[in-house]
Amino acid sequence: MAAFINNDITAAGLIVLAKGAAGQKITYTKIVLGDGYLEEGQTPRSLTGVVSPKAVIDITKLKVNTDGTVAVGGIFTNDQTSDGFFYRELGLYAEDPDPAVGEVLYCYGNCGDLAEWIPPTGGATIVEKTIDIVTAIGTATNVTAYIPADAYATKEDYETYKAIALAAQAIANEAIEIARQAVQTANEAKQATIDLNKAVTQNTSKIQTLWDAVFSEITSNPFQITFVDLSGITLSSGIWNATLQRLEC
């Protein structure tokens, strides 16, 4: 097993870290394994990339801890490389918030001669490693990672995603019920509108008849009661129009 004894955040990583502490987003992009040595006088702080990259690992885990650190992880299998190599370098890359800067090596570790041999794919030995990198984020709170849709998921990840999915399903069910109630309310309002239109139509006819009777020149009997004659009726006022069989003021 590789033992990384020379680890540090790079100069570019410190800039990203400072921007994260100021409220900007830190986005981790990938993990890279390599077999390179550090040259004399060279330190992880001064590096801008893994010296001799051999495998790129998709990020499948991101957990922000309460102690100012973040755990970033992925799964490595030796079917990702056709050649064997000494697992000597480990680098975590991140996206600088400034688009003009782009992707940078955030932190780096090198284990020198303590490197582990990784056999090539197709051999008798199948290697699968869970890679976890714990690095500092300080007071940064907006931390994300690029996680491919087909990435591996741990049991912890599965349970987390399951809980998120169930919560989303519950919200969707609530939304469906609200929509159903809204449709029912709309149908009831539509029926009420139809009933109101009928009532308005009927009342409009009656109001027009009353209007004609009160304010218009009466040329015909607007009422359904007719006076064929005055038999049994004592006329106290008005004039009986025998031709039109009506009483007139």
Question: pLDDT digit string (tens) for 145-203?
Answer: 766 655 555 556 556 656 766 676 677 678 778 888 888 888 888 888 887 888 777 77
Domain ranges of the chain: 6-152, 153-215, 217-249
Tokens 């955040």, located at residue: 9
Cβ contact 227:240 at 8 Å: yes
Query: What is the bridge-based pairing of β-strands 89-95 and 103-110?
Result: antiparallel
Say what the pLDDT of residue 165 is.
60
Say what the pLDDT of residue 160 is.
66
Say what the pLDDT of residue 105 is.
96
Say what the pLDDT of residue 140 is.
77
Q: Which residues in the chain come in under a pLDDT of 70?
A: 1-3, 123-124, 146-162, 164-166, 168-169, 172, 210-227, 232, 249
- 75-101 CB burial, b ≥16 within 10 A, e <16: bbebeebeebbbbbbbbbbbbbbeeee
